[in-house]
Amino acid sequence: MRKKIMNKYVFLMIATVSMWMKTYIVYRTSFDLKIENAMQSFILFINPLSFFLLIFGFGLFMKQRTRNIYIIVVSTLGTILLISNMSFYSFYTDFITIPVLFQSSNMADLDSSIQEIIKPSYFLMFIDILILMWLARKNRNKDYGVVTSKEKVSYFLVVCVVFMFNVGLAEVQRPHFLTRSFDREILVKNIGLFNFHIYDGIVQSATTAQRALADSDELVEIENYINANEKAPSEEIFGIAKGRNVIFVSLESTQSFVLNETLNGKELTPFLNDFINESYYFENFYHQTEQGKTSDSEFIVANSLYPLGRGSVFFTNTENEYNATPEILKNYHYYSATFHANNATFWNRDVMYDLFKVDKFFDIESYDITPENSFGWGLKDKEFFEQSVDLMKELPQPFYSYSITLTNHFPFELEEEDKLIDEYDSNSEIFNRYLQTIRYQDEALKRFIEKLKEEDLYENSVIVLMGDHYGISENHNEALAQFLGKDEITPYDTIQLQRVPFIIHMPGITDQHPELISDISGQIDVKPTLLHLLGIDTSDMIQFGQDLFSPERTSFAVLRNGSFITEEYISVSNMCYDRDTGDQIDREGTCDVYEDMAHDELSFSDQIIYGDLLRFYNKEEESVEE
């Protein structure tokens, strides 16, 4: 009798164990999940089990043959989802979320990138599916009987016990991890990849409804928080660039570690190294982007709000009201323009720039692109800058321009004629090529500044250069460690590698009195800093950044995944490090002191975006003006 009962579950158990083990192997080989102790290792091992027991268990309500087909189909879909996450993670060091799927319109321009991250070996993951198909065919004429109601109840009780045991252990390791964590790695480590996707679906449903349920009262607590943390601008710096043009350049995939470095005895960034010595340079400036990458960077800089933890605001919240820098500058007679030699619809820019009140978007149609001046992602940076300045000189002044480069983009490809430095020798072709495209970008920037001078756009401008996000993911840590002369890249190092260049250059000012600024800062601080340089008061604006020149500002930066950096500490994945030494230290009384501040900033910003709360604030502003 017992054998007959067991026979009903054999196929289901084989499928469960194979998918369980396959998922665990992927955890260990394809994801860089940081494990601190034996308990976390055990949780990681068991967390796929409850999902597969549950999802395959639904087949118990079907006849045997239908059940076997169902299990094979689910196993196939689960494997495809695993491979999709592996491919996504191999570049972004992140997991797929539902909002990312809404960005499918970007896929048409990602051919070369996709070819780099899809590996033929992934198809070996379907071997167990073939075995299941063989077993199902072999036993197709055998009938092990119907699963009784009592057996179903017992089975699903076991599923509940396994799941609660998993969650209980996770809660002990990371209290409130479901409600307080912005880090998808923590969620995957504790409840598993597939349960994370279910959780993501629940969160997606909740955030979709948030706008309809929002009201103006939600702004009160947020305004109180912002007002309490607002810092007065520097009297010496405020308005120092009043009336000047703003020429902002977003440097694709550029991290700070390349500055002042050499390769084979040659400087990687000779122009930037010199330009920094004539500018205000912020050496501890962090990118704060997430899954939206460059679009996130644009969003932060324009609004001084954090991007979403899931997907890109440029796709998920295109009906919101914003109070972006271009719109603010209209009140001060500034003309705004964005320059990017890509399709207008990529990252949904044509829609979002209208919301930001950008006067003119110079997209791919505005440039003369030929086979000779384009490669990889499109128009080469040198030609892009040459043509952009020709367009820029026709703009009404004063203007605010925002240019986005392309050449230093994954998979970092160059034609031989543009390789200005020999290739690095590491085990990562991606990293080796990255250093070459960085060198090319630097030369293009040199020509850009020369062209600005030739067209008389240099002297009366504020020139801002900023890296938009990381270029080299954790999947290339071995090569990165070799280049930096380290034994390994630790979680502490990973946070430090999120620093990107931020340079403010004002001819006649910074070249006379350049300054190296070491305070902790991030992209969230760009908007108030630039507006104050132009003499524009921001005290009545909803923003989370602080003027980088304010003598009272808090030296603090929050990354979108909840990690944060202070003058003394770095917090990442529930670990706390001494910022100066990199030594791991106890969180209590150190990183924990700043935990609530980091959580509040991200939570309040999410409320504003998901609830479209600025529609209420903007109405209040209009009423005051009337």
Question: Which residues belong to the active site?
Answer: 294
For residue 391, what are the CA distances in angstroms to 234, 258, 273, 360, 506? Answer: 34, 30, 28, 11, 21
Phi, psi dihedral angles at 607 (to 5 degrees):
-60, -40
List the beta strands (DSSP E) in 113-268: 245-251, 262-263, 266-267
β-pairing verdict for 515-517 and 245-251: unpaired
Number of Cα atoms under 13 Å in the Cβ half of residue 467: 31
Question: Is there a contact between 20 and 75 (Cβ–Cβ < 8 Å)?
Answer: no
Q: Largest alpha-carbon pair distance within the chain? A: 92
The residue ranges of DSSP E strands in 495-574, in sequence order, are 502-505, 515-517, 521-522, 556-558, 564-566, 569-572
Give kind and range of the element (H or E) at residue 43: helix 38-57
User: Three-state SS for 572?
Assistant: strand
Residues 54 and 49: their CA atoms lie apart, in Å, by 9
- Tracing tokens 């190294």 back to the chain, one arrives at 273
Q: Which amino acid is at 11?
A: F
Q: Tell me how far apart the alpha carbons of residues 13 and 16 are, in angstroms, rounded to a whole number.
A: 5
Q: Going by C-beta distance under 8 Å and a sequence separation of 6 or more, which residues neighbour residue 56? A: 12, 15, 16, 71, 74
Reference 241, options 525, 530, 546; nearest CA is 530
In the DSSP assignment, the letter for residue 564 is E
CA distance from start to end of the chain: 83
Q: Please report, for residues 253, 279, 458, the alpha-carbon distance to residue 276 in angstroms, rounded to integers and kept in the order given.
A: 19, 5, 16
Query: Where does 174-320 have alpha helices with state H?
Result: 177-180, 184-191, 193-213, 218-229, 270-276, 293-303, 313-316
Identify residue 82 by its one-letter amino acid code: L
Q: Are 231 and 550 in contact (CB under 8 A)?
A: yes
Contact 187, 196 (CB under 8 A): yes
